[in-house]
């Protein structure tokens, strides 16, 4: 099996557990605070490694204590870090996350070194990207670098997954460069300017992304499952019900499960089943990476549904 290449962001997550989201100007006392390694790219890479897949991470950390700590975590998890750059004179990315008892979260970011992941960095890693089988990226780094990385991956025949988070309007080229785009309802609405609350609305919105060049749209709809839209079909694939404690990185974990399934040569339906199981399990503990499941845990959840 070829390596999965994750091109993207790494943050240190400062997670505050709060009884509810507070109002503007209000000071609210939380029930606890924890610090986790996170960032959408780093989360995807760690989740792939937990599932036992060979994975390399291309990204930027600052030359601060957080960066040094994160690099050690990646190595310990078994992620290939030869594509990581430690950038002098800048802090690592930091995310400030509030989590309420239902497991929902709110995130605000300081991008730090993630802003230094440039087109030049993508080009410098072209040979390594060319050796991989699946390429996965998100939107927490400069857009030109993201597009250049996708161009390189596509030119070498990799399967390209775009996790459009945090969502922002994108040029058509972004969709033409990817095989699969994986928005949740909110992201789909931002990408298309169309509502995506119901399955019917989401299918209509997804069709506009297909028209702009995406080969497949996977609309993540939480516990309800995934709406898979291609040029000729729309299918709802069921999710898994679990007790959610913290939904941070559920999307990242989903994408990792998808990448691992595809890298193994699974059908898209089987890869989505694995992705749904990994995404669901990732919500069952606090923090982005602590709850990311092993392959055995994901397979056990899948077996329980059959
Ligand atoms: O998707 C969850 C991630 O979003 C968090 O780990 C945080 O760092 C932000 O990037």
Ligand 1 and 40: CB distance under 6 A = yes
Whole-prediction pTM: 0.97
Which atom of ligand 1 lies nearest, measured to the CA of 248? 2
Ligand 1 and 64: CB distance under 6 A = no
Ligand 1 and 248: CB distance under 6 A = yes
Residue 200, by phi and psi: left (phi above 0), alpha (psi -120 to 50) or beta?
Answer: alpha
Ligand 1 and 39: CB distance under 6 A = yes
Is 35 a residue whose pLDDT tops 90?
Answer: yes
The partner residues of 234 in beta bridges, in order of sequence, read 229
Catalogue the E-assigned strands of the chain. Answer: 4-7, 11-17, 32-38, 55-62, 84-87, 93-99, 105-110, 134-137, 159-162, 180-181, 216-220, 226-229, 234-237
Given the residues 13, 64, 246, 252, select the one marked as catalytic: 252
The whole-number average pLDDT for the span 57-62 is: 98
CA distance 46 to 16: 22
The whole-number average pLDDT for the span 130-144 is: 98
Name the DSSP class of 222: G
Residue minimizing CA distance to atom 5 of ligand 1: 39
Tens digit of each residue's pLDDT (9 = 90 or more) over 144-195: 999 999 999 999 999 999 999 999 999 999 999 999 999 999 999 999 999 9
Between the CA of 233 and the centroid of ligand 1 the distance, in Å, is 32
Q: Are strands 93-99 and 105-110 parallel, antiparallel or unpaired?
A: antiparallel
From the list 121, 106, 119, the residue with the least C-alpha distance to 61 is 121
- Provide the mean pLDDT of the chain: 97
Q: Where are the domains of the chain?
A: 4-9+40-64+78-85+114-304
What is the predicted pLDDT for the residue at 225? 94
Which atom of ligand 1 lies nearest, measured to the CA of 13? 8
Between the CA of 306 and the centroid of ligand 1 the distance, in Å, is 31
Ligand 1 and 13: CB distance under 6 A = yes
With the most atoms of ligand 1 within 8 angstroms of its CB, the residue from 9, 10, 12, 13 to mutate is: 13
Q: Which two tokens stand for residue 289?
A: 């990476």
Residue minimizing CA distance to atom 6 of ligand 1: 38
Is 305 a residue whose pLDDT tops 80?
Answer: no
More confident residue, 115 or 288: 115
Active site residue 246: no
Residue minimizing CA distance to atom 7 of ligand 1: 39
Between the CA of 41 and the centroid of ligand 1 the distance, in Å, is 8
Is 306 a residue whose pLDDT tops 70?
Answer: no
Ligand 1 and 42: CB distance under 6 A = no
What is the predicted pLDDT for the residue at 122? 98
Q: Which two tokens stand for residue 181?
A: 């785009």
From the list 176, 175, 85, the residue with the least C-alpha distance to 128 is 85
Give whole-number Cα distances, 90 to 87, 116, 154, 213, in Å.
Answer: 6, 9, 31, 37
CB contact burial 262-292 (16+ within 10 A = b; e otherwise): bbbeeebeebbbbbbbbbbbbbbebbbbebb
The whole-number average pLDDT for the span 99-103 is: 94
Q: 4-9+40-64+78-85+114-304 adopts what CATH topology?
A: 3.40.1190
Alpha-carbon Rg for the chain, nearest whole angstrom, is 18
The whole-number average pLDDT for the span 22-27 is: 95
Ligand 1 and 249: CB distance under 6 A = yes
Tens digit of each residue's pLDDT (9 = 90 or more) over 272-299: 999 999 999 999 999 889 989 999 999 9
CA distance 30 to 101: 11
Residue 274, by phi and psi: left (phi above 0), alpha (psi -120 to 50) or beta?
Answer: alpha
From the list 120, 119, 127, 177, the residue with the least C-alpha distance to 145 is 119
Range list of H helices, 78-195 = 119-124, 126-130, 143-155, 172-176, 185-192
What is the predicted pLDDT for the residue at 288? 84
Is 138 a residue whose pLDDT tops 70?
Answer: yes
Tens digit of each residue's pLDDT (9 = 90 or more) over 192-212: 999 999 999 999 999 999 999
Q: Which two tokens stand for residue 174?
A: 């972004």
Residues in contact with 110: Cβ distance below 8 Å, sequence separation at least 6, in sequence order: 91, 93, 94, 95
Report residue 275 CA to chain centroid gap: 11
Which residue is associated with the tokens 């610090």? Answer: 35
What is the predicted pLDDT for the residue at 295? 98
Ligand 1 and 38: CB distance under 6 A = yes
Q: Which two tokens stand for residue 253?
A: 């974990």
With the most atoms of ligand 1 within 8 angstroms of its CB, the residue from 252, 256, 278 to mutate is: 252
């Amino acid at each position: 099996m070829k390596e999965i290449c994750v091109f993207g962001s790494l943050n240190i997550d400062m997670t505050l557990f709060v009884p509810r989201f507070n109002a503007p100007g209000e000071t609210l006392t939380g029930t606890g605070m924890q610090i986790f390694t996170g960032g959408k790219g780093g989360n995807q890479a760690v989740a792939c490694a937990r599932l036992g897949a060979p994975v390399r991470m291309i990204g930027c950390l600052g030359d601060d204590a957080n960066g040094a700590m994160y690099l050690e975590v990646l190595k310990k998890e078994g992620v290939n870090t030869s594509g990581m750059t430690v950038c002098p004179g800048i802090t690592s990315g930091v995310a400030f996350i509030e989590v309420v008892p239902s497991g929902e979260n709110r995130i605000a970011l300081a991008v730090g070194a993630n802003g230094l992941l440039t087109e030049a960095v993508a080009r410098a890693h072209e040979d390594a990207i060319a050796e991989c089988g699946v390429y996965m990226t998100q939107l927490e780094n400069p857009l030109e670098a993201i597009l250049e990385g996708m161009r390189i991956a596509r030119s070498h025949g990799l399967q390209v997954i775009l996790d459009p988070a945090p969502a922002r309007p994108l040029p058509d080229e972004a969709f033409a460069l990817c095989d699969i785009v994986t928005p949740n309802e909110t992201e789909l609405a931002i990408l298309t300017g169309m509502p995506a609350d119901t399955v019917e609305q989401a299918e209509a919105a997804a069709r506009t992304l297909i028209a702009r060049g995406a080969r497949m749209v996977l609309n993540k709809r939480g516990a309800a499952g995934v709406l898979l839209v291609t040029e000729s079909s729309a299918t709802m694939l069921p999710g898994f019900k679990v007790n959610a404690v913290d939904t941070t990185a559920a999307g990242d974990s989903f994408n990792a499960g998808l990448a691992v399934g595809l890298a193994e040569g699974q059908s898209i339906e089987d890869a989505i089943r694995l992705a749904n199981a990994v995404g669901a399990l990732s919500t069952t503990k606090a923090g982005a990476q602590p709850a990311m499941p092993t392959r055995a845990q994901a397979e056990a959840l899948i077996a329980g549904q059959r």
